Amino acid sequence: MAITKGDTTLRSVSGISAIEEQRILDFLQGAVYCWCKNRKDEWFSLRELMGGDNFYWEETPLMPLYEKHRIAGSSDPVKSAGKDCGWMLKKVIINDSRNFETDKFEMTRKYKWI
């Protein structure tokens, strides 16, 4: 397990295909690698990896998460998709070969490579 300190609870994300899930996990893994390479010792969350509070997931593997919630009639598909994506990021971190610390800051799950 790659989380050495913090919560390791995982939830499954449903409503997307296995291929879509794998593409999302690969995409998030690449974002984690880039962050760790360029910003070692800094905390990160899904928000930081994806460019802040902007929702620019178009043309990325993350769009099926948004579409799933939009089609289902979610009152806030961006927020719902973000929660799903956060669980998928946590899965990436737990399965990573490196060790990470995790904590919650202002209701946001953050990670740091240690």
pLDDT, tens digit, for every residue of 71-93? Answer: 999 999 989 999 999 999 999 99
What the block records as the tokens of 78 is 């961006």
- Cα-trace Rg, the chain: 14
pTM: 0.90
pLDDT, tens digit, for every residue of 52-67? Answer: 766 678 889 999 999 9
Residues in the chain: 114
Q: Are 63 and 57 in contact (CB under 8 A)?
A: yes
Give residue 25's pLDDT: 98
